[in-house]
């Protein structure tokens, strides 16, 4: 005779394993390393500095003010 198995527990384990596999796939698909995040942040900061340096000085010009 076989062992007694709690079906509810087996279903929960299967669902947990499926969720873990899906999470792993999402990490591989969407995840970025810390270095990649820092690189993107540095590029954004460089772009902001470039745009700020290219702005014209002086008072803001409005329509009829």
Which sequence spans correspond to the domains of the chain?
Answer: 7-50
Is 61 a residue whose pLDDT tops 70? no
Residue-wise pLDDT tens digits, 1-37 = 789 999 999 999 999 999 999 999 998 888 888 999 8
Is 63 a residue whose pLDDT tops 60? no
Cα(3)–Cα(11) distance, integer angstroms: 16
Residue-wise pLDDT tens digits, 29-53 = 888 889 998 999 999 999 999 988 8
Is 62 a residue whose pLDDT tops 70? no
| Residues ≥6 apart with Cβ < 8 Å to 42 | none
CA 1 to chain centre: 50
Cα(31)–Cα(65) distance, integer angstroms: 50
């Amino acid at each position: 005779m076989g062992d007694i198995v709690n079906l509810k527990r087996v279903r929960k384990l299967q669902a947990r394993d499926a969720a873990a596999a899906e999470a792993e796939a999402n990490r591989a698909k969407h995840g970025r390393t810390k270095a990649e995040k820092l690189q993107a942040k540095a590029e954004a900061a460089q772009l902001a500095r470039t745009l700020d340096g290219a702005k014209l000085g002086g008072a803001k010009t409005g329509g009829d003010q």
